[in-house]
């Protein structure tokens, strides 16, 4: 398969698409329509002891078309056929579907669909080809195997690169387009010593292109984390002082993002309700933003599925719930502007982009003497949470999650053989002892180390 580059993406000609849909809309007596479209090429590789386990390249295209019929009901159709005949079938199919539209769920165009877009400083990196990806991953796997005698396999690994163009158009003249590239690498090692259980850990790196991936640091981090779990012991079941590493805390916040989701609020499946705004939901030194435009966010987009510009949105300020994530429909219900977090559909989904957890400078934490390096207390350091989808009850706020981490006593880290942490997200947010001063960037957001007192740990029986 030939490589796709930025110039090739211009073949998705938005003028031709608009002209064809307008032509069909006139013949069908459709006055209102919009669409989201994308075309991309992505390549990915997995290896097993230097041999190709999977090498895959694909060119993909898709278009989702919504139309409003004369009664104001919405129909939607999706197709991968972006030819003139495919577009015609898509418009007619959406019009037919609109007969069965839900009168209680009628989205409209975003009032910000033609507002100025923020600038994104994301240079487009051309794809380098699947053979180059294979060579990089093969070398990375061997380097990781060489890091320690106990590391005998890297069972989960992958490297990928992609270049894509997104498009949003509507019948009122809105026109959004974005071309972006992204590459990723993950390495998950498995180590085993005689008479001991196998232990695993890994690392992830993202970049605008394959040549931007910091492969060496990914190898070093995956090895260091894996080796640190070799000396493991069981842990006693009781309540502990907990230190969440940045990625683990972001995973926990993400598992309960329904707190900030206006769609979930309206559907009655959120921990929040319409009256929650302005109320304290966390300690006064915690702030949380959803910033899809952050310079460290590799996958940033300047607009959402409805064409609304992306922006930095404050969700929690000084412990107070400030905002919800909105689509056009939920924003209309709340009497506010959409926030740039919508998908595209008959019932539009809403979701976060990139969380940034920060410590509010104006407030001091409950215990500024706590630090994850020189803390004198016994505590549990949590590296990552597992089984998020099955161990979280979003609408109740409770969680019970297996985790990877260490028991730290007098500065000595001992890997925990197997254990589960349980609690309630509302308790966590209101019982944070300290947010450390230095936030860290990872592939899912930004957060400092977060200390929480008195959470329940259940050890392996």
Per-residue CA distances from 228 to 191, 224, 431 (Å): 10, 6, 29
Is the pLDDT reported for residue 154 higher than 70? yes
Name the residue among 222, 224, 229 with its Cα closest to residue 185: 222
pLDDT of residue 11: 52
The residues pairing with 395 across neighbouring beta strands, listed in sequence order, are none
Counted domains in the chain: 2
Is the pLDDT reported for residue 442 higher than 70? yes
pLDDT of residue 7: 47
Mean pLDDT of the 144-173 span:
96
Is the pLDDT reported for residue 347 higher than 90? no
Of 196, 224, 252, the last residue of a domain is 224
Determine contact, residues 29/70, Cβ cutoff 8 Å.
yes
pLDDT of residue 369: 47
For residue 183, the enclosing domain spans: 6-224
pLDDT tens by residue, 34-58: 999 999 999 999 999 999 999 999 9
Name the residue among 36, 27, 34 with its Cα closest to residue 88: 27
Distance CA 33, CA 75 (A): 10
Is the pLDDT reported for residue 366 higher than 80? no
pLDDT of residue 220: 98
Of 224, 251, 280, the last residue of a domain is 224
Residues 139 and 115 in one domain: yes
Residue 17 domain-assigned (yes or no): yes
Residue 1 domain-assigned (yes or no): no
Residues 364 and 249 in one domain: yes
Residues 352 and 424 in one domain: yes
Mean pLDDT of the 152-177 span:
96
Of 224, 239, 259, the last residue of a domain is 224
Band (345; pLDDT cuts 50, 70, 90): confident
Residue 31 domain-assigned (yes or no): yes
Residues 116 and 173 in one domain: yes
Is the pLDDT reported for residue 377 higher than 80? no
Residues 156 and 59 in one domain: yes
65 burial (CB, 10 Å; 0-12 / 13-18 / 19+) is buried
pLDDT of residue 415: 96
pLDDT of residue 404: 96
255 sits in which H/E element: helix 246-255
Residues 377 and 277 in one domain: yes
Residues 17 and 161 in one domain: yes
Is the pLDDT reported for residue 150 higher than 60? yes
Which runs of E-coded beta strand occur in 128-275? 151-170, 175-191, 199-207, 232-233, 238-244
Residues 138 and 287 in one domain: no
Distance CA 44, CA 267 (A): 38
Contacts of 4 (CB under 8 A, 6+ apart): 40, 41, 59, 127, 163
CATH number reported for the structural domain that contains residue 127 in this entry: 3.30.2290.10
pLDDT of residue 8: 43
Band (14; pLDDT cuts 50, 70, 90): confident
Per-residue CA distances from 448 to 287, 288, 357, 363 (Å): 12, 12, 7, 16
pLDDT of residue 364: 52
**What's this model's pTM, rounded to 2 decimal places?**
0.92
Distance CA 454, CA 422 (A): 11
Is the pLDDT reported for residue 2 higher than 80? no
pLDDT of residue 363: 54
Name the residue among 191, 182, 286 with its Cα closest to residue 231: 191
More confident site: 123 or 14: 123
Residues 33 and 56 in one domain: yes
Residues 288 and 175 in one domain: no
Which runs of E-coded beta strand occur in 49-95? 51-68, 74-79
Per-residue CA distances from 85 to 35, 78, 389 (Å): 16, 14, 41
- Strands laid side by side in the 199-207 sheet: 74-79, 51-68, 32-48, 151-170, 175-191, 199-207
Residues 182 and 290 in one domain: no
pLDDT of residue 371: 44
CB atoms < 10 A from the CB of 134, how many? 18
Length of the chain: 461
What separation, in Å, do the N-terminal and C-terminal C-alpha atoms of the chain show?
53
Determine contact, residues 142/279, Cβ cutoff 8 Å.
no
pLDDT tens by residue, 285-339: 999 999 999 999 999 999 999 999 999 999 999 999 999 999 999 999 999 999 9
33 sits in which H/E element: strand 32-48
User: Mean pLDDT, the chain, as a whole number?
Assistant: 92
Residue 302 domain-assigned (yes or no): yes
Distance CA 117, CA 103 (A): 32
pLDDT of residue 461: 59
DSSP conformation class of 146:
T
Main-chain dihedrals φ then ψ at residue 396, nearest 5 degrees? -105, -20
Mean pLDDT of the 253-264 span:
96
Mean pLDDT of the 86-95 span:
95
Q: CA geometry: angle at 68 spanning 63 and 73, to 5°?
A: 120
3-state secondary structure of 298: coil
pLDDT of residue 203: 97
Residues 160 and 237 in one domain: no
């Amino acid at each position: 398969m030939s490589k796709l580059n930025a110039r090739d993406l211009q073949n998705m000609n938005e003028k031709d698409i608009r002209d064809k849909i307008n032509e069909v809309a006139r013949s069908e007596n459709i006055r209102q329509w919009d669409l989201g479209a994308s075309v991309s090429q992505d390549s990915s590789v997995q290896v097993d002891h230097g041999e190709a386990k999977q090498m895959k390249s694909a060119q993909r295209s898709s278009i989702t078309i919504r139309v409003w019929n004369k009664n104001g009901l919405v129909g939607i159709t999706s197709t991968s056929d972006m030819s003139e005949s495919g577009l015609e079938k898509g418009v007619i199919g959406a019009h037919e579907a609109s007969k069965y539209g839900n009168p209680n769920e009628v989205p409209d165009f975003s009032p910000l669909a033609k507002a100025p877009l923020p600038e994104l400083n994301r240079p487009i990196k051309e794809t380098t080809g699947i053979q180059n990806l294979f060579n990089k991953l093969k070398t990375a796997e061997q380097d990781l195997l060489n890091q320690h005698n106990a590391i005998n396999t890297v069972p989960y690994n992958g490297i990928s690169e992609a270049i894509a163009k997104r498009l949003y158009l509507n019948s009122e003249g809105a026109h959004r387009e974005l071309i972006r590239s992204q590459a990723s690498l993950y390495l998950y090692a498995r180590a085993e010593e005689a008479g001991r259980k196998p232990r695993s850990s890994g690392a992830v790196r993202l970049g605008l292109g394959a040549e931007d991936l910091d492969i060496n640091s990914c190898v070093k981090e995956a090895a260091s984390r894996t080796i640190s779990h070799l000396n493991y012991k069981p842990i006693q079941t009781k309540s502990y002082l907990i230190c969440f590493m940045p990625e683990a805390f972001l995973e926990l916040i993400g598992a309960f993002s329904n707190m900030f989701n206006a769609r979930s609020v309206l559907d009655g499946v959120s921990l929040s309700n319409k009256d929650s705004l302005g109320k304290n939901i966390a300690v006064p030194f915690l702030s949380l933003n959803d910033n899809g435009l952050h310079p460290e966010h590799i996958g940033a987009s300047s607009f959402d599925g409805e064409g609304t510009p992306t922006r930095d949105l404050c969700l929690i300020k000084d412990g107070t719930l400030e905002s919800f994530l909105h689509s056009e429909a939920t924003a209309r219900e709340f009497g506010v502007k959409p926030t740039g977090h919508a998908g595209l559909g008959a019932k539009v989904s809403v979701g976060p982009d990139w969380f940034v957890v920060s410590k509010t400078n104006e407030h001091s934490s409950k215990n500024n003497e706590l630090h994850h390096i020189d803390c004198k207390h016994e505590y549990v350091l949590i590296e990552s949470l597992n089984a998020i989808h099955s161990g979280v009850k979003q609408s109740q706020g409770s969680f019970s999650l297996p985790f990877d981490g260490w028991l730290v006593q007098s500065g000595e880290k001992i890997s925990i053989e197997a254990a589960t942490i349980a609690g309630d997200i509302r308790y966590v947010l209101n019982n944070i002892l300290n947010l450390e001063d230095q936030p860290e960037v990872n592939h899912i957001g930004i957060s400092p180390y977060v200390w929480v007192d008195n959470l329940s740990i259940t050890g392996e029986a």
